[in-house]
Amino acid sequence: MRYGGKITTIRFSVQAAGDDHVVVCEDDGVGVTVEEKEKIFEQGFGKDTGFGLALSREILSITGITIRETGEPGKGARFEMTVPKGAWRMKGDGA
């Protein structure tokens, strides 16, 4: 909400990608410029403390999960977190 400007909707979904799953968080705000798509994950970059996405990426990487921003500038941010096989389970699959 802080960075998206005019956000009215935030949506979460999960998609299968081969043996992996991709958790998607997307909004309808202003999005992220092409030049900033990787910079937003660097410590110290941003409009507040600069720890949020850098720390998130670091914590997720410990479990093998990757995160990247794939939204279209001007149409909203879209974060994809790829969860590798063996790091996820579906309700009712006996795990």
Q: What is the CATH number of the domain that holds 40?
A: 3.30.565.10
Residue 54 lies in a domain: yes
Residue 94 lies in a domain: no
Q: Give SS3 for 57.
A: helix
Residue 74 lies in a domain: yes
- For the stretch 45-65, pLDDT in tens is 766 666 789 999 999 999 999
Largest CA distance in the chain: 44
Checking if the pLDDT of 17 tops 90, the result is yes
**Per the structure, how many domains does the chain have?**
1
Q: Residue 68's domain spans which residues? A: 10-82
Residue 66 lies in a domain: yes
Question: Which pTM was predicted?
Answer: 0.84
> Taking residues 19-46, what's their average pLDDT?
91
Q: Using alpha carbons only, what angle is made at residue 77 by residues 20 and 29, rounded to the nearest 5 degrees?
A: 150
- Distance (Å) of CA 56 to CA 8, 19, 53: 24, 23, 5
> Taking residues 73-86, what's their average pLDDT?
94
